Amino acid sequence: MSRTNADIARTRALWTANKPGETGAPAYEPNPPVPWQVALALAAALLWQSSLGASLQFRGAGISFVPLIVAWYAVRMGWLRGLTFGLIAGACEDALAGSTGAAWTLATGLIGLACGRLRGTWFADTRLALVPGAALATFLRYCAFAVAMQSEGRPLALPLTHLHVALWQSAFGAIVAFVVLRLFPRLGAANPHRR
Amino acid sequence: MIVAAAIALIQLDSLKTGKPSVIAVAVTSIAVFAQEAGAAAGTFARGAAASVANAPRLAEQNAELREKDRLLRIENARLREALAAAPDARAIAALAEQTGAGTLATIVGYDPESVSRSVTIDRGSLAGIAPGDGVMSDGGVVGRVVAVAPLSSTVLLVTDGASKVPAVVERGRWWGIATGTNTAIRLEYVSQDAKLKLGDIVVTGEGRSFHAGLEIGRITSVDHPDGALYQTAIVTPSVAFGRLAHVLVLRHS
């Protein structure tokens, strides 16, 4: 829905009142994620990855939706909620994997925290940044997972064996992010705290 | 902040104690129902796709299978005769029957990130399954149980890099350790004087999770370096993990 001139004028007036020295105003309305929709998306992603998605793999790698959902939620909601959501998502993955200890919990929490720090910046609402950002978040989460696994006593050789899987997953993540943002541009819209 | 700290502490405490956390128990208990539905849908979809793809070859396959069936019947009769002639073998078979064959389970889930070679089965501590229990299928050794929730368990496949199973080359009784390589199994620490051959059958040695004699796979390559203390062989698993649907959990003794 397009904004009327009156809406824009009202937002501009509010902005100017709060920031007397600045004349710029946020270009978009606040667009926070709906909690139940995010929870549903996470549950669907976990279910897909742990059942049917396991059969649909390319070179041992399937699409990992969990880091994408966590990163997207975090850049819109901030580091604390991103961290919490990341920990919950990671704990669910650890529960389903069974043999990864708390490695996914820590890695996904860390990604939620890091992405949350980008809230309100240019990275949070620019498709040009979100698409490679999805790949980067997936890969960095895997690196954090590898470090956590090593600290839990597993040899580093194991995560290194799966490095190609992480690279493929990152590429798939970027493709998924691109397609989703093309289909649902609203998901890439800005939040009110853009600096 | 409190929620985040609580989740992190619960997970770390679970890691320290080695028991599944409250979160893990809750998630697996809920997920097992959804995964069962997903697995059923997946099996149906795979079956339907395979049927469509194989339709032109069905007649040829049917004839081939009938011939195989005839040969197997002959082989079966011969083996029955051999079993009847060997009192020890018959006693072992009877013992296996007495102790109970184990718990039948269905595979309902996989590692969500495909990092570890593990599967989730639909039987847990309520069915008497415990960590360390061996898991096998009609093809041979599948893996061992590493995590147990009330309604589900996680099985680390024998092909996972963290899996280690005491193994014996059946022909010469040479011992080794079967370690996963993610796609196959590496038989390590086999003494240099062992004369390994391609096609040799590798079975389990008596161990924590398995009794002796369960088939792991067949040797497909041998690395026999000069000057090394041990030789190594690559073993192709006898179980087709991609098509695995049902397994038998052996009680840990």
Helix (H, G, I), strand (E, B) or coil at B215: strand
Verify that B106 and B91 share a domain, yes or no.
no
Contacts of B203 (CB under 8 A, 6+ apart): B167, B168, B170, B212, B213, B214, B215, B216
User: Across residues A176-187, what is the average pLDDT?
Assistant: 85
What is the dihedral sign for C-alpha B34, B121, B93, B159? positive
Yes or no, beta carbons of B110 and A51 under 8 Å apart: yes
Q: Quick one: closest CA in B to A58, which residue?
A: B114
Higher-pLDDT residue of A104 and B90 is A104
CA B135 to CA A156: how far, in whole Å? 27
Please report the pLDDT score of residue B19 as a whole number: 77
Please report the pLDDT score of residue B91 as a whole number: 42
3-state percent helix, strand, coil for chain B, nearest multiple of 5: 40, 30, 30
Q: Quick one: closest CA in B to A160, which residue?
A: B115
Please report the pLDDT score of residue A92 as a whole number: 92
- B127: domain CATH number? 2.40.10.350
Q: Which of B65, B100, B135 is the last residue of a domain?
A: B100
User: Across residues B218-236, what is the average pLDDT?
Assistant: 87
Q: What is the pLDDT of residues B149-186, one digit of tens each?
A: 888 999 999 998 888 899 999 888 889 999 988 788 99
Alpha carbon distances (Å) from B209 to A182, B141, B155: 51, 10, 12
Least confident of A167-181, B23-37, B190-204: B23-37
Give yes or no for a contact between A142 and A160, defined as CB atoms under 8 angstroms apart.
no
The closest CB to that of B114, out of A57, A91, A105, belongs to A57
Task: Grade residue B219 by pLDDT with cuts at 50, 70 and 90.
Answer: very high
Least confident of A157-166, B146-155, B204-213, B238-247: A157-166
- Which chain B residues are Cβ-neighbours of A80 within 8 angstroms? 1, 4
CA B140 to CA B155: how far, in whole Å? 15
Write down the residue that tokens 């089965």 correspond to: B121
pLDDT greater than 90 at residue A66: yes
The closest CB to that of A99, out of B26, B108, B162, belongs to B162
- Domain that includes residue B30, residue range: 1-100
Please report the pLDDT score of residue A1 as a whole number: 47
- Which chain A residues are Cβ-neighbours of B112 within 8 angstroms? 46, 49-50, 53-54, 64, 66, 93, 96-97
Alpha carbon distances (Å) from A80 to A134, A135, B1, B134, B203: 19, 22, 7, 42, 52
Q: Mean pLDDT, chain A, as a whole number?
A: 80
Verify that B178 and B188 share a domain, yes or no.
yes
Verify that B124 and B247 share a domain, yes or no.
yes
Q: Which of A99, A139, A170 to mutate to test the interface with B (most CBs of B within 10 A)?
A: A99
Q: Which of B100, B119, B145 is the last residue of a domain?
A: B100
Verify that B61 and B13 share a domain, yes or no.
yes
Least confident of B43-47, B139-143, B173-177: B43-47
Task: Grade residue A19 by pLDDT with cuts at 50, 70 and 90.
Answer: low
Phi, psi angle pair for B217, to nearest 5° = 170, -165
Closest to A2 (Cα-Cα) out of A29, A23, A26, A25: A29
Verify that B93 and B195 share a domain, yes or no.
no
Query: How close A194 comes to chain B (CA, Å)?
Result: 24
Least confident of A131-140, A184-193, B118-127, B201-210: A184-193
Query: How close A9 comes to chain B (CA, Å)?
Result: 37
Task: Grade residue B251 by pLDDT with cuts at 50, 70 and 90.
Answer: confident
Verify that B118 and B192 share a domain, yes or no.
yes
Verify that B89 and B152 share a domain, yes or no.
no
Q: Which of B85, B100, B115 is the last residue of a domain?
A: B100
B4 touching chain A per CB within 8 A: yes
How many other C-beta atoms lie within 10 A of the C-beta of residue B175? Answer: 15
Please report the pLDDT score of residue B220 as a whole number: 92
B113 touching chain A per CB within 8 A: yes
Write down the residue that tokens 């549903």 correspond to: A40
Q: Work out how many domains chain B is built from and give that number.
A: 2
The closest CB to that of A51, out of B109, B147, B153, belongs to B109
Verify that B251 and B170 share a domain, yes or no.
yes
User: Across residues B99-109, what is the average pLDDT?
Assistant: 78
pLDDT greater than 50 at residue B92: no
Give yes or no for a contact between B91 and B98, defined as CB atoms under 8 angstroms apart.
no
Task: Grade residue B128 by pLDDT with cuts at 50, 70 and 90.
Answer: confident
- Which chain B residues are Cβ-neighbours of A87 within 8 angstroms? 4, 7-8, 11
Verify that B225 and B164 share a domain, yes or no.
yes
Q: What is the pLDDT of residues A122-163, one digit of tens each?
A: 777 777 788 888 899 999 999 999 888 888 777 666 667 778
CA A85 to CA A113: how far, in whole Å? 9
Give yes or no for a contact between B120 and B110, defined as CB atoms under 8 angstroms apart.
yes
What is the share, in percent, of chain B residues with pLDDT greater than 90? 13
The closest CB to that of A91, out of B23, B146, B156, belongs to B23
- Does the model's pTM come out above 0.90? no
Verify that B21 and B142 share a domain, yes or no.
no
What is the share, in percent, of chain A residues with pLDDT greater than 70? 79
User: Across residues B199-204, what is the average pLDDT?
Assistant: 90
User: Across residues B75-82, what is the average pLDDT?
Assistant: 75
| B45, containing H or E segment | helix B22-54
3-state percent helix, strand, coil for chain A, nearest multiple of 5: 70, 0, 30
Give yes or no for a contact between B131 and B147, defined as CB atoms under 8 angstroms apart.
yes
Please report the pLDDT score of residue B253 as a whole number: 56
CA A143 to CA A165: how far, in whole Å? 12
Half-sphere exposure of A169 (CA within 13 A, CB side): 29
CA B161 to CA B188: how far, in whole Å? 13
Closest to B165 (Cα-Cα) out of B209, B121, B108: B209
Please report the pLDDT score of residue B50 as a whole number: 78
pLDDT greater than 80 at residue B238: yes
Q: Which amino acid is at B167?
A: A
What is the dihedral sign for C-alpha B76, B77, B82, B85? positive
Strands B118-121 and B103-110: antiparallel
In chain A, which among 84-113 make CB contacts under 8 A with chain B? 84, 87-88, 90-102, 104-106, 109
Phi, psi angle pair for A182, to nearest 5° = -70, -40
A50 touching chain B per CB within 8 A: yes
Q: Which of B114, B123, B156 to mutate to test the interface with A (most CBs of A within 10 A)?
A: B114
- Which chain A residues are Cβ-neighbours of B188 within 8 angstroms? none
A194 touching chain B per CB within 8 A: no
Yes or no, beta carbons of B4 and A158 under 8 Å apart: no
Verify that B75 and B115 share a domain, yes or no.
no
Please report the pLDDT score of residue A30 as a whole number: 45
pLDDT greater than 90 at residue B210: no
Q: What is the pLDDT of residues A91-128, one digit of tens each?
A: 999 988 887 888 899 999 999 999 988 887 777 777 77
Contacts of A7 (CB under 8 A, 6+ apart): none
Verify that B134 and B92 share a domain, yes or no.
no
b/e burial code for range A25-48 (CB count within 10 A of at least 16 → b): ebeeeeeebeeeebeebbeebbbb
